[in-house]
Amino acid sequence: MEWPAVLDEYQKLIFKMNTPQVMIDNAGCANSTRVMIDSARKHGILLEAVQVLTDLNLSIEKAYISSDGRWFMDVFHVTDLDGNKLTDESVINYIEKSLATIQFTRSERIEGLTALELTGTDRIGLLSEVFAVLAELKCNVVEAKVWTHNGRIASLIYVKDCDSGSTIEDSQKIQQIEGRLRNLLKGDNDIRSAKTSVSTVDTHKERRLHQMMYADRDYERKFGYCGNSPSVSVQNCLDRGYSVINIQCKDRMKLLFDVVCTLTDMQYIVFHATINTSADIASMEFFIRHVDGTPISSEAEKQRVILCLQAGIERRTYEGVRLELCTTDKRGLLADVTRTFRENGLNVTQAEISTTRDTALNVFYVTDASGNPADPNIIESVRQKIGTSSLIVKELPMIYHQKAEMDEPLGVGSTMLLSLGSLLRRNLSYLGLIKSCY
């Protein structure tokens, strides 16, 4: 390693000691690639490691985490979307380099765009109204992530000024945008205030959505809620000073990230953990302490942890029919498309918006007004209005360790699925994980 000239020998030693040591092994396990990380322990470093793997859409089949004293060791058993070991050397090298630098903060800011953070009361047609307001105020939506859970909505929307083609600099216009969107998000009987703001946070986008919904207290169950929640239990291991969390739920993509993200943002440290997946069920056990070194101290705190973990898992649960839109981008496109959904009684439960050059690559999950599966005839009618060649119906996603649809070349819609993380968007061509859509 070539050291910067400004570092003395002591600083070089400290830097080396704090640099994670990464080893990737394809020989030790018959069905998966082992990714091993040794590093000095610091709050949040486990989440950073899991984030690197999940941003690459790798399936974490098993994981063993141990962190005593000032060091931690993680072992992840991973496969690709096809359920195979990792064999592409460029992918392996990229993982090694990324994990070796997880102690450094990564900026998620997108240059030239203004990031809007929105939370409030969810309802049918809300997204249509939000995009209509932005179009009216001459804001072009370039990227967006939308989650809904328990009657609440959180969204990160990246826009640029239609006139300047860059960030919105006019403070009066920003205040106008925030005010009008806040009125939409508040709802008729909202006991919690809606929030709209220009984001100044450089946090990973999906982690930021978790933080926004957690701050909005979406984990508080609505009266009469009877959903099938993940099984979460909390006990104290008094002889070791840990709290032990056990989780059993349906396995799915990015499940471990969502759980670790929730624990990290609640200021808990994972000292030991075991994660196993079998068929479509995930079993996870975590030995945790609060950042001050204490275990969970009260029944109220225990119940709060259970509710927050259930919410963290449920937020990304895909509900409804998956619709993939690939078409030439134009001003007001999202307002037109989501208005068509609203006029046909379709509710958007999640959305992923992206624009590449002049092409809009969008994914929507839609249900009917009651949250039930949408009528296929209505879906087909919507496709006829928007364009059958542009709006494609996809089945609900399989859990991530099952065989993906790899028997045919990847289309633009699949490219969108594989480019959820901003980290990937900057590196997919180099890694060779997907084919170009051009």
CATH T-level topology, domain 219-314: Alpha-Beta Plaits (3.30.70)
Report, in angstroms and rounded to the nearest whole number, the Rg of the chain calculated over CA atoms: 22
The residue ranking higher by pLDDT, 425 or 187, is: 187
Kindly indicate the confidence band of residue 312, based on its pLDDT and cuts at 50, 70 and 90. Answer: very high
Q: Where are the domains of the chain?
A: 20-106, 114-194+317-431, 219-314
- Residue 276: predicted pLDDT: 96
Q: Is the pLDDT of residue 420 over 50?
A: no
Query: Please, are residues 256 and 308 in contact by the beta-carbon 8 Å criterion?
Result: no
pLDDT per position as a tens digit, 191-208: 567 899 998 888 899 999
DSSP 187: -
Query: Please, are residues 283 and 276 in contact by the beta-carbon 8 Å criterion?
Result: yes
pLDDT > 90: percent of the chain: 65
Query: Please, are residues 271 and 289 in contact by the beta-carbon 8 Å criterion?
Result: yes
CATH T-level topology, domain 20-106: Alpha-Beta Plaits (3.30.70)
Q: 376, 359, 364: which is closest to 437 by C-alpha?
A: 359
Quote the CATH superfamily of domain 114-194+317-431: ACT domain (3.30.70.260)
In whole numbers, what is the pLDDT of the chain averaged over residues?
84
Most confident of 169-183, 396-410, 424-438: 169-183
pLDDT per position as a tens digit, 67-116: 877 788 999 999 998 899 999 999 999 999 999 888 766 667 778 899 99
- Residue 17: predicted pLDDT: 59
Place of tokens 């991530």: 400
- Residue 249: predicted pLDDT: 95
Q: Is the pLDDT of residue 133 over 90?
A: yes
Would you say how long the chain is, in residues? 438
- Residue 86: predicted pLDDT: 95
pTM of this prediction? 0.84
- Residue 124: predicted pLDDT: 92
132's enclosing H/E stretch is helix 126-136
Q: Is the pLDDT of residue 14 over 70?
A: no
Mean pLDDT of 353-381: 93
Rounded distance between C-alpha atoms, residue 370 and residue 374, angstroms? 9
Compute CA distances 205 → 35, 352, 359, whole Å.
Answer: 24, 12, 22
pLDDT > 70: percent of the chain: 82
pLDDT per position as a tens digit, 220-247: 976 444 457 899 999 998 788 999 999 9
Mean pLDDT of 156-179: 93
Cβ atoms within 10 A of the Cβ of 424, count?
A: 16
Rounded distance between C-alpha atoms, residue 174 and residue 181, angstroms? 11
- Residue 192: predicted pLDDT: 63
- Residue 223: predicted pLDDT: 46
Query: Please, are residues 83 and 401 in contact by the beta-carbon 8 Å criterion?
Result: yes
DSSP 357: T
Domain 20-106 and domain 114-194+317-431, same fold? Reply is: yes
Alpha helices by DSSP H, listed for 281-427, are 299-314, 333-343, 376-386, 412-417, 422-425
Cβ-count burial 119-146 (b if 16+ within 10 Å, e if not): bbbbbbbbbbbbbbbbbebebbbbbbbb
Mean pLDDT of 299-310: 96
Q: Is the pLDDT of residue 416 over 50?
A: no
